[in-house]
Amino acid sequence: MKAVVLITGASSGIGSALAKVFAAHGHELALVARRQDRLEALADEIAATGRPQPTVFTADLERREAASIIAAELSSQGLEPAFVVNNAGFGLRGEAAALPRDEQLAMIDVDVRALTELSLMFVDSLARHRGGILNVASVAAFLPGPGMAVYYASKAYVLSFSEALHRELAERGVRVTALCPGPVPTEFQARAGGMASNAAMRALELSAERVAQIGYDAFMAGKRVAIAGIGNRLAVSLMRLVPNALILRLADQRPRGAGGAQ
């Protein structure tokens, strides 16, 4: 079986940037997303740099059987993961009681359930290759998020789960890192229905390419958590000193006049 890096949500944004970083460091890739055309274009772009052509296949991680389909596809092509990069995810902006319940449950399916299943499914393979798991969380993991309640909670789960796995799997030689970016200008914001933006948030923005490089370097160094960018690291440190009542007001993503920050 050939060892590959399995990357979900690879068709755009941070996922695409991570694929390019892993490829640049000599890793062979298996790329997963919903959009076949985007995956094929990315694979061709990587191959044009002289790297091996990545394997691509589509999967919708909202479906309960998606992880099993991914495993079967890998096996049928003689591939097994040395590294798993769980990047796929989405958010929705609005009050939890007003947003469609099925869409919020689909968010949990992608951001939590699929990530958990793919993190655990290939542990034996990861151990054989002394590889690991890179889970893309967010600085949202460190605070509650009125206006994006389920999304923020899902990222808190990813952070907690990843830190625990970092400890549990270390004795098997499997590294686990939670990558926590702050604001990144990608298609994520459009799917979320727009994101609250202000000067402070714009000052914390990093490109997807920069976040990917920070994540890769931290992962290969065996770090437990990688908060991308000095500004975001400072912000997370300050959060620990601020009362939750104030954090709730500052983090409120709801539009003004809808109970959001005034």
Q: Which residues are catalytic?
A: 151
Structure tokens at 152: 């923020």
What is the Cα–Cα distance from 26 to 196, expressed in whole angstroms? 38
The CA–CA distances, whole Å, from 198 to 14, 135, 145, 227 equal: 22, 27, 16, 20
Structure tokens at 209: 């390419």
Cα dihedral 139→141→142→148 (10° resolution) = 90
User: In terms of C-beta density within 10 A (0-12 exposed, 13-18 middle, 19 or more buried), how is residue 57 classed?
Assistant: middle
Task: Name the maximum alpha-carbon separation found in the chain.
Answer: 57
The CA–CA distances, whole Å, from 55 to 30, 70, 247 equal: 5, 12, 43
